[in-house]
Amino acid sequence: MSEPYTAKHYALRAQDYVTSTVHSQGTDLDRVESLVAGKELRRVLDIGCGGGHVTYRLAPHVGEVVACDVTGPMLDAVAQEAARQGLSNVTTMQAPAEKLPFEHGSFEAV
């Protein structure tokens, strides 16, 4: 099976998405964070995590965030940034959204 177009396209731009001001700010991120804050969720899934900005916002509020994306270099950049921010509860998983390798009920929020 060949690498998906999306993975090829975004692989070269992974670090740009992590450091992007446009992608790292916004009321959408504030809203997602507010939906999770105070809920004491154990495990959440960020599907198509891209540069990981949802992941970084949720990590302080949950037990674990699994950042999932089809692009390996994007996940490498997310893992590096999470470590830089001291977010030890972030894990990454490479998979397409259409074929997630998780058992039903593995997450409290997606």
Asked whether 73 and 14 are in contact (CB, 8 A), the reply is yes
Q: How many structural domains comprise the chain?
A: 1
Say which residues have a Cβ less than 8 Å from residue 90's Cβ, sequence separation at least 6: 52, 55, 56, 59, 64, 65, 67, 78, 79, 82
pLDDT tens profile 14-35: 665 666 665 667 788 999 999 9
The DSSP H or E segment spanning 94 is: strand 90-94
pTM as predicted: 0.84
- The answer to whether position 18 is within a domain reads yes
- Measured over the CA atoms of residue 86, residue 31, residue 65 and residue 55, the dihedral's sign is negative
The band of 1, judged by pLDDT with boundaries at 50, 70 and 90, is very low
- Give residue 22's domain range: 5-99
CATH number of the domain enclosing 24: 3.40.50.150
Please check whether residue 87 is in contact with residue 59, taking contact to mean a CB–CB distance below 8 angstroms: yes
Phi, psi of 67 (to 5 degrees): -90, 115
109: in domain? no
- Examine residue 87 and state whether it is found in any structural domain, yes or no: yes
> Can you tell me the distance from the alpha carbon of 107 to that of 64, in angstroms, rounded to the nearest whole number?
10
